[in-house]
Structure formats: C-alpha cells, structure tokens
Chains A and B, each alone.
Chain A
Amino acid sequence: MSIIKSKNLVHEYIRRDEEGNVESIQVALDHVNLNVEPGQFISILGHNGSGKSTFAKHINALLTPSEGTLIVDGMNTSDDEFTFAVRQTAGMVFQNPDNQIIASVVDEDVAFGPENIGVPTQEILKRVEKSLKMVGMYKYKNHSPNKLSGGQKQRVAIAGVMAMEPKCIILDEPTAMLDPDGRKDVLQAVHTLNKEKGITVILITHYMEEVVDSDYVFVMEKGKVFMEGKPREIFKDVELLKAHSLDVPQVTQLAYELRQAGVPLPECVLTREELIDELKAAKASGFTPNLSSLVEMEAENNHFTGSGNSDTSKENVLILDHVSYKYSPNTAYEVKALDDVSLSIKEGEFIGVIGHTGSGKSTLVQHLNGLIKSTDGVIYYRGQDIYDKDYDIKELRTQVGIVFQYPEHQLFETTVFKDVQFGPKNQGLDEKEQIKRAYEALGLVGLPEEFYLASPFELSGGQKRRAAIAGVIAMKPAVIILDEPTAGLDPKGRDDILGMITEMHRKRGDTVILVSHSMEDVANYVDRIIVMDAGKPAFDGTPKQVFAHYKELEKMGLAAPQVTYVMNDLKNEGMNVDASATTVEAAKASILKAFN
C-alpha cells in the first residue's frame, strides 16, 4: 500500500479584496497524481513557483486540497479529525534553519514536538536522546541554536521531526541556505534515516547532485507533475530539462556533450565512476572522434579564454597592505577574522573569492568599502589611504559597491524605481540624474519595465534580487562586490544572474568580485580566484592554477568542480588529458583530443 497517494489534487490560492470578493485565483497545484511507496527516497524537482512547496505543505496537512484527495498512510488530509495524526506521520523540515527552531536550547527544541502530542516525560527524554544521536547532534544538546552553523541547525530540525516518530519526512529545500559542508552533513543524515530506519523521505531540492541517489524523481512545473521516473530516466533528457529551467549534474552534462560529439557513451551517466569506466571502454574500443568538430570547438574555446587573461598593464584599484581584523579584541572571545592579508586588485578584473563559512571572506570584502575598519594594516583605493582622516569614506562607498547576501531583504521603498533611486539620492545627485541612473541600472539588470512602478514586495524572488542589485549599480561603482548573489535561487535564476553579471562586466569594464560557495559557478565565470582559509588567502590565481590544488582545497572544506575530478581520474587511468580543466567545455575538448 502506498504511504502517500494524491488523486487529482488541486490547490488554488484565492486573493480577496477588502469586501471579500474574489480578486484573483492562482492555481498552485493542477490535478497532481502521484504515489509514494513506504521506505522510498523520493525527490521532487522544479523551479521556483512550480508548486512543489505547496504540495509539500499538503502532505503535512498544513494546506488542504481545493479539489481532489490526498491520502497519507490511509488518512484523508481533508478530514479535520486526522490533521494531527497526519502531521505526526509525515513530519516536515523547512528551508530556513532559523525560522523553525522554537526553543533557546537544542534539546528543548527537539522535545517540542513530543510535548505537543502529549508524550510522557520519561519517554520524551529517551526520544530526544535517540533523535539527536541519529543526526549526530547529541553533543550539542545543551547549546543555544544561535551558536550553531546552518547545517547543524537543519540537523536539529530533522531531529525535532524524528522525535515524533514519523513514518515519513518531507524536506522542503533543506539545503538551499547552507554551505557545501553543511549540505553534505544534512544529506548524509537524511540518507541514514532512509536506509537504517526505513523512513520514507521526500526531498524537495534545486541541487541536481542531491537527486542522483534517490529511488524515484518527480519533476513539477506550473503545478503539474510533468516528468517522473528513476533519476537515470529523468537526466537522460538534458535538453528537455534545460528547456524547463532545470539543470543536470555536471558529470551528466559532460557525458551528454561527449555523446553529442559522437563518443559512444550510454544515454545517461550519473556518477564520476560510471563516466570514467565508460570512457575507458570507449578508448579501448578504438573510437576516434570526428576531427572537424574538434577544430571548430578549439577555435571557440580559444576565443573563450582569450578575453579572460588579466592584463598586467592595468592599474591597481585596491591594495590591502598587511590587513588584520579581530572580532572582540582583548577579550576572551577574541577571534582573528583576517590575519595579515596583503592583496592587490587590478582594474577590470573578475575575481572569485571562495572559502567555507567563517573563513573570513565576508569580513574581507566588507573591508574594501570601509564598512569594517581593520585592526591593523592599511587599505589603499586608487593609491589613497582610506583610513586617512581626511579621506571621504562616503565617497568610497559609492566607488566600491557591495551587494550583500539576500540583497532583496534590504528593499524598502514603495516602488522598485524609488528603491533603486535611493543610492543616487544619497550621493546628492539631482533628481534628473537620479532618474537617469535608476533607469540605466534597471536596464542593465534586465528587469522588465512593467515592474518599475510595482512594489518591490510583489516581485518574484529572482526579480527582487535583480532590483536589489540595480540599487547598488545605480551608484555607478567602479568596483562591485557580490556576496553569494545566487544563494537560494533555482538553476535558471542562478544562470540568469551570473550571466547578467558577466554581461555587465563586459559592457562596463568594471572590477567585479564574486563571493561564492559554488566552485562550478566560480570556475565558469571568473578570471582569478582567491581562496580564503582561516583569515588568510591560501591560494590566489587562475581557476586552473587554484583547482589544481583540489586535495588541499578539500582539507579546507572546499572542493574543485566535478569535471576537475573527472579529468584527474582520467589522467590517473593513463589517458592523456589536461587535468587542469575546470569547465565542461574545456573538459570536453581535452577528452576528445585524447581519443586521437
């Protein structure tokens, strides 16, 4: 018997005006039919707004169907009588780690669920201990959640659900706000629950790598299930997925492109090991690719890397001279966030800054426009000491713009246009110039004109982010810093924003500094990478140079892009490939060459 069974499930969000008349109806779920068997590991994919979160809330009876039925473990969720039984059977973990922890101590939070359903005291203590051990958080039981990392908080939230002894656990984008380390820990915990405790898992995610290991995948769009099947069947159709704003794992992408170039590979390759084995087999079979396609691609490739090389003749915009920064200096809590950093940043460079949470990368970029003042050392902007008492720090802030993480959280005006005008207005420009600047900036970020006079709070997630980025660009900074600009966006949103940033960089020739967790993003777009570790730059060079140190990067809680691993494995297997390739294009070219 299936544990979750939805039949023609429809959900409509109805918006009413003040008199209660229906203003608009938005169909979030449109006749969804799906079945989940007990013990399965299910993934649900779909871009933002595809209805997957709405569906998740139905399984937990937080929402009830407008039409159709949803049966959870034999109980109809529309029946009020079962509401609490359903919630106990199918527990839910949400996206934001901070907004789902209720108590100020870890173990008290895990106890919240059992307390609500009236579990006896002794039993609660047992369950709390058991659940915390399951997710590996037992030693933190007396900690305050505020002192934990995002990944640790999510594991506490999972323990909180497990303490209610559910049969099924639904995770709604649990890793969207985490760094790679935290993501790994959370996924590991979820897989353990599935394998060892037989808990049915429903994982909603944007990260294609997380889907590969699941038993069955549903892909949703516009409130409908538009594809379903085993991961291998889903990722077969790379073009179709891309057309629907989704993505495939990088290894699958590489295999797909090699296959397109004629390499005899199976229809769908999901893991690194598979790809290596298949390529070895192809090599052994004596396959040689069509050379003409290779030559064509080489030319394209050269063109691609040609513009990227940093020009040594360019002037330094920013110089950091032995900069150190300590949080709470001279107390017991003293933390060295930056430790004797010396760097120079040239005009027009496109730089990626990577490092795990707490490595000092955010502290570093906030120094560059004087938001944080170093405890030691000097920073020069175009040759001038920014800590000089005559230096105009406000002017520096207009020259070096920072787009913070989740920049849409800073929107406040009544219209998008007014919000973008805020920066230029603070610069003291006249009204005409303010409007001109705002108009230009909104054009650069590619926000459609019909949204200019809308309230920023009515936009979708990706549009809000564009509006917020425009708010910084409108000040016409010479250096623009973006802290995790793609955090929480779906694959399409991510590619759009990164494409937009690259396009802007090309058009304006400004200096761009991109802080990111995603090695793939950084490898694809930037010319130079600075790796931060324990408050110091550990590596500084082109993506190829930096990712050659992938073993050291792993020790810092980082990783190289997936393709770099593939190339290194191939090299170890004796194939003559360029192990330093960091993008799918470069890897493809190098592998094809090796076949000759």
Chain B
Amino acid sequence: MLRDITLGQYYPAESVLHSLDPRVKLFSTLVFIITLFSANNVILFGFVLITLVGIIKMSHVPFSFMVKGLRSIVMLLIIAGLFNLFLTPGRELVSFWIFSISDVGLKNAVLMTSRMILLIIGTSIMTLTTTPNQLTDGLEKSLGFMKRFGVPVHEISMMMSIALRFIPILIEETDKIMKAQMARGADFESGGLIKKAKNMVPLLVPLFVSAFRRANDLSFAMEARCYNGGEGRTKMRPLTYSSLDQRAYICIGIFIVVFYAAKVIL
C-alpha cells in the first residue's frame, strides 16, 4: 500500500522541467497554488488549467503516473465534494427526502473538487521532476533568510533528506519483522479495531527499537565524517541559476501579470 503513493516520488526523465533549478520549481508551484485559489470564474480557471496542461506536456512524465497519485485521496475528494454539494445554503435546485442541492452548492462542489485535483497534480509535477535531495537543497536555500529569525533551516532540511533515505529501509524492515512474527503465529489481519491495534505491538516495538539503533549508528557515522551543522559547509553541486532558469522566471512573471490583469478586467 505504501508503495502506491506517488506524491513525493521522483520520475527520472529528460525534460526542461527536470533540469530547472529546484528554487524555480518551488516558486512556480507557490504561484500556481495562489492563482488556482484566486481564480474565481471559468475563464481564469481555464487559463490556469491550460497552463497546467502545457506544463504536464513539458514534463515528459506519463499523465497516467500523475493520476495514480490521486487514488489515495479519492475518498477525501468525494467527502469534500458531498459536503459542499449538500450543505451550502442558496437557491434550491433539487431536493429529495432531507437533502437539497443549491446553485451555490453545486458551483462550490465542482470548483472545490477540481481545485483539489489540480492542486495535487500541480504539486506532484514538482516532486516527480525533482529528486528529493534537490528539493531539500532548494528549500534550504530559498528559506535561508529564516535563519535570521532562529529557524534551524539547515537542520530541518538535513532531517528531511535523512528521512527520505531511510523510508525504503524501514519499509523493508517492517516487512521482515512482520514475517518473523507471523512465523511465531502473530495475526495482523483479523479482529476488530482494538484487537488489531493490540496485535501491532509485536511489530511496532521492534521497529522503534531498530529505528533508534539506526539513528544512533548514523549519528556516529556522521560525526566520524566531521559533520558539525551547516556552518562552513560547502557543496559538491551548489545551486546556481542558469539562463534556462532566468527564462523560466520571466515566463512565471508574464503568467502572473496576465492572470491578475485578466482578473481585474473581468
């Protein structure tokens, strides 16, 4: 099940988007989210949608791969859609038994779910075209100014990249411990909610112990290699903007101007 989540997964391919600086992608994703939520009519919404389709085409990531990421949130989408549909007051369109659908409700439901879908697809394009390491590098550098306010930006990004490194290892470990306990007759499937939770103890305790042991080992290994926080650290591949990134920023600028001009005019 854990393997099905595409959100946060990298898809290796050669494309303009793959070679962009992660900071450009982070900024453009932010712009995309803001415009997506400030698009309050069909034309503006269509404008954002067309731009997104263009970007999807540019990414060289199969569209089916992005849609897979939606599967895990289908339930959430349905619930959010239904709440909007039935619980928004307004001019009544249809009503049966205790339910009624208003015009505002219908509009909100459609807008809400399509926004959510676009949001997921838009952000997953960023993660699909950026390696986790580039992403944390990008975050560290773009949020570097927050260090002045006492936010440990370097430490947070180091923690993120270590977490990403150990997720597959811990998944494998979970599988191994599960099998070992099943061989001792443990049952992880049957029973009610409470029984199921209780049955997880033989899995979770060893998993935590192992995670702590690994953390301890890793801290020694990092210290042995002279790790001493972000001060005075250099980079093998420092982030530098290329002309491609500059052009991308210009495009984003044009997009913002066009979008807000259209918003004011309409």
Contact = CB atoms under 8 A, between A and B. Distances in A.
Contacts of A471: 184
B234 A119 contact: yes
A258 to B, nearest CB: 43
Nearest to A457: B209
Given A113-B226, A409-B210, A404 B234 contact: no
Nearest to B216: A99
A99 B164 CA distance: 14
Contact of A100 (B180, B210, B221, B228): B221
Contacts of B214: 96, 98-99
B224 interface: yes
A475 B179 CA distance: 16
Interface residues of A, number: 61
B226 A102 contact: no
B165 A113 contact: no
Given A124-B234, A125-B236, A475 B225 contact: no
A236 to B, nearest CB: 35
Interface residues of B, number: 46
Contacts of B223: 62, 87
A410 B165 contact: no
A117 interface: yes
Contacts of A121: 234-238
B185 A427 contact: yes
B224 A404 contact: no
Interface string A459-477: 0000000000001100100
Contact of A84 (B184, B210, B228, B238): B228
B180 A412 contact: no
A104 B134 CA distance: 11
Interface in B153-212: 161-162, 164-165, 168-169, 176-177, 179-187, 201-202, 205-206, 209-210
A404 to B, nearest CB: 5
Given A103-B161, A409-B206, A87 B224 contact: yes
A88 B161 CA distance: 24
A146 B233 contact: no
B225 A164 contact: yes
B133 interface: yes
B217 interface: yes
A146 B168 contact: yes
A94 B221 contact: yes
A409 B224 CA distance: 26
A160 B225 contact: yes
Contacts of B65: none
Interface stretch (A394-402, A510-518, A573-581): A394-402
B161 A371 contact: no
Contact of B205 (A116, A160, A402, A412): A412
Interface in A113-164: 113-121, 124-125, 128, 145-146, 160-161, 164
B145 interface: no
B98 interface: no
A118 B236 CA distance: 10
Contacts of B132: 104
Contact of B221 (A102, A105, A427): A102
B176 A116 contact: no
A108 interface: yes
B185 A397 contact: yes
Interface in B23-57: none
B234 A104 contact: no
Interface string B220-250: 1111111110001111111000000000000
Contacts of B168: 146
Contacts of A407: 180
A479 to B, nearest CB: 12
A207 interface: no
B78 interface: no
Contacts of B238: 121
B218 interface: yes
A319 B49 CA distance: 61
A15 to B, nearest CB: 16
Nearest to A113: B225
A13 B87 CA distance: 65
B198 to A, nearest CB: 12
B183 A402 contact: yes
Contacts of B162: 102
30 contacts: A57-B220, A87-B224, A87-B225, A87-B226, A94-B224, A99-B217, A99-B218, A100-B221, A102-B221, A103-B165, A104-B161, A105-B131, A108-B133, A108-B236, A108-B237, A113-B225, A116-B226, A117-B226, A121-B235, A128-B236, A366-B179, A371-B182, A401-B183, A402-B183, A410-B181, A410-B184, A412-B209, A423-B185, A426-B184, A472-B184
Interface of A: 57, 60, 62, 84, 87-88, 91-92, 94, 96, 98-105, 107-108, 111-121, 124-125, 128, 145-146, 160-161, 164, 366, 369, 371, 394, 397-398, 401-402, 404, 407, 409-412, 422-423, 426-427, 457, 471-472, 475
Interface of B: 131-133, 161-162, 164-165, 168-169, 176-177, 179-187, 201-202, 205-206, 209-210, 213-214, 217-218, 220-228, 232-238
Which 6 residue pairs of A and B lie closest in terms of their CB atoms, listed nearest first? Answer: A426-B185, A99-B217, A100-B221, A412-B205, A111-B236, A113-B225
Given A96-B214, A107-B236, A118-B232, 14 more contacts: A87-B225, A87-B226, A92-B221, A96-B217, A104-B131, A116-B226, A128-B236, A409-B176, A409-B209, A412-B201, A426-B186, A426-B187, A427-B185, A472-B184
